[in-house]
């Protein structure tokens, strides 16, 4: 087996149709991520570095490696192909609606004294969405004298993303907070070589529990029922059959009257679903 360093990353032989189909099949079986025929260049690009790390010189060699180290390497493969693009308060209208409308409705019909408002940030990537929601809930609780007990579970299929989320360290210039005062309130600025980074303060971090989880796992390892579920910009990576299955599962995990928020790039138009749409990619489980 020739080492890839003899070839150079740009000299990898082209990926054959059969190899691409085999990799797509494995990825779909393990994650339900659906790669269309036009994603071959993307897949080759993201896996090229991995072949170099392993000292492999061909895609067939990599398939053999996958067969030999299936369990561990499949997790690595999913880490490499999973898209983890996100930022704080992405699609901010959702957070504004949670603060101005949904929390009022949920508290009117759901948590009573002693209960906890349960929220799930599914496909949470590196944590920005979950911490954005945590800030919204913290601000809301501070503004309502009766108080609000809440917790967030955040999950993602990518080990790499979950590890970053647990570290809770982000570049300051990429926070994009809606109010400058939130920076001092919820983040601790680094010093010295870390002066351009900040860390989410412990009080907020303790309210968010991060777990690695596949949205298609047989059982969801989160408290149920949930009152609010964010599953944004994830449906687009699945085929229609998988989308329909996931939407039904998210419906079932919600308390009656609870809300599902999907991304603006997601669409439920082609998939039958039991939700009531309320606009801006927000759906409610009927009471």
The residues annotated with a catalytic role in the active site are 46, 156
> How far is Cα 108 from Cα 203, in angstroms, rounded to an integer?
27
Structure tokens of 250? 């998210």
**Rounded CA gap, 183 and 189, in Å?**
9
Element (H, E) at 42: helix 40-54
Instruction: Judge whether 270 and 240 are in contact, CB under 8 Å.
Output: yes
Q: What is the DSSP string of 178-226?
A: SSTHHHHHHEEE--GGGTTEEEE-HHHHTTEEEEE--TT-SS--S-SSE
- Dist. CA 278–CA 261, nearest whole Å: 10
> Would you state the structure tokens that stand for residue 242, as one six-digit string?
């998988």
Q: Calculate the CA 198 to chain-centre distance.
A: 21
């Amino acid at each position: 087996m020739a080492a890839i360093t003899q070839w150079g990353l740009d000299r990898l032989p082209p990926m054959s149709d059969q190899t691409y189909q085999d990799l797509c099949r494995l990825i779909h079986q393990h994650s339900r991520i659906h790669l269309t025929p036009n994603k071959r260049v993307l897949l080759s690009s993201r896996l090229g570095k991995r072949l170099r790390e392993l000292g492999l010189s061909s895609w067939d060699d990599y398939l053999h490696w996958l067969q030999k180290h299936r369990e561990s390497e499949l997790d690595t493969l999913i880490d490499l192909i999973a898209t983890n693009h996100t930022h704080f308060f992405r699609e901010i209208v959702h957070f504004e609606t949670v603060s101005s409308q949904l929390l009022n409705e949920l508290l009117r019909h759901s948590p009573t004294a002693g209960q906890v408002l349960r929220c799930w940030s599914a496909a949470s990537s590196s944590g920005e969405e979950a911490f954005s929601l945590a800030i919204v809930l913290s601000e809301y609780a501070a503004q309502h004298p009766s108080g609000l007990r809440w917790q967030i579970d955040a999950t993602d299929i990518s080990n790499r993303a979950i590890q970053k989320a647990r570290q809770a360290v982000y570049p300051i210039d990429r926070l994009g907070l809606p109010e400058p005062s939130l920076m001092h309130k919820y983040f601790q600025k680094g010093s010295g070589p870390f002066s351009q980074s900040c860390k989410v303060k412990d009080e907020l971090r303790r309210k968010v529990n991060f777990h690695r989880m596949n949205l298609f796992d047989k059982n969801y390892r989160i408290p149920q029922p949930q009152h609010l579920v964010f599953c944004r910009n994830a449906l687009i990576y699945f085929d229609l059959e998988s989308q329909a299955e996931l939407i039904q599962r998210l419906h079932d995990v919600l308390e009656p009257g609870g809300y599902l928020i999907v991304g603006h790039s997601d669409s439920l138009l082609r998939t039958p679903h039991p939700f009531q749409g309320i606009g801006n990619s927000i759906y409610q489980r009927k009471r």
